[in-house]
Amino acid sequence: MFILNSAYDSWQIRNVLVPVSSAPDKPWSICKDNIRNCNSTQIKVLDAFRNTMVGAFKVVEDKEDWGLFIDSCFTHCQSLYGISWNSEISPRLGNKSIAEAAGDWYHGRSQGEKEIDCEYPCNPTCSGQLPP
């Protein structure tokens, strides 16, 4: 099994973590639409969400037939769009695009392909051109 996710999945943040009904105040509305608009307190909340999710993946750490590609980009559905899946501006972890990491895992070129990004905003390959 290969798991692909953004640790700061924009859909999850907008609809699960901070739905309109739970955060009607303007600061969260601005933050959840664009992570670059979040203040340091909000980033800490989002980092805690990311760290909980990454911690949940510890159960597959030793499973060689599992693969992970967890980046810190503020985007959703990266596998549906060529721009995020495999292009010059695709997110990269370990110098691999999502397609390269998934391909290495699928074809057995890399045992236990597990790439997990650091906390936002550490990854310079998270482009503002990715789908939100």
* Nearest one of 51, 46, 39 to 14, comparing CA atoms: 46
List, for residues 61-75, the tens digit of each pLDDT value. 888 888 899 999 888
pLDDT bin (cut points 50, 70, 90) of residue 44 is: very high
| 8 Å CB contact between 31 and 39 | yes
Confidence tier at 132 by pLDDT (50, 70, 90) = low
Residue 129 lies in a domain: no
Give dist(CA 8, CA 66) in Å, integer. Answer: 21
Full domain range(s) for residue 112:
2-116
Can you tell me the distance from the alpha carbon of 70 to that of 6, in angstroms, rounded to the nearest whole number? Answer: 5
Burial of 103 (0-12, 13-18, 19+ CB in 10 A): middle
Is 79 part of any domain? Answer: yes
Name the residue among 126, 132, 117 with its Cα closest to residue 15: 132
Residue 35 lies in a domain: yes
Q: CB of 73 within 8 A of CB of 8? A: yes
Tell me, what's the pLDDT at 23?
64
The one-letter code for the residue type at 7 is A
pLDDT of residue 39: 93
pLDDT at 78: 78
DSSP 8-state symbol, 67: E
Above pLDDT 90, what percent of the chain? Answer: 27
127 falls within a domain: no
| Range from 45-49, 66-70, 116-120, 123-127 carrying the lowest mean pLDDT | 123-127
**From CA 74, how far away is CA 11, in angstroms rounded?**
9
- In-domain check, residue 132: no
Per-residue pLDDT band for 55 (boundaries 50, 70, 90) equals: very high
Residue that the structure tokens 């597959």 belong to: 60
pLDDT for 26: 74
The total number of structural domains in the chain stands at: 1
- Domain annotation covers residue 131: no
pLDDT value at 117 more than 60 = yes
Q: Looking at the DSSP assignment, which residues form a beta bridge with residue 67?
A: 2
Looking at the domain assignment, is residue 124 inside a domain?
A: no
- Using CA atoms, how far residue 46 sits from 69, 72, 76, 131, in Å, is 18, 11, 15, 19
In a domain, residue 83? The reply is yes
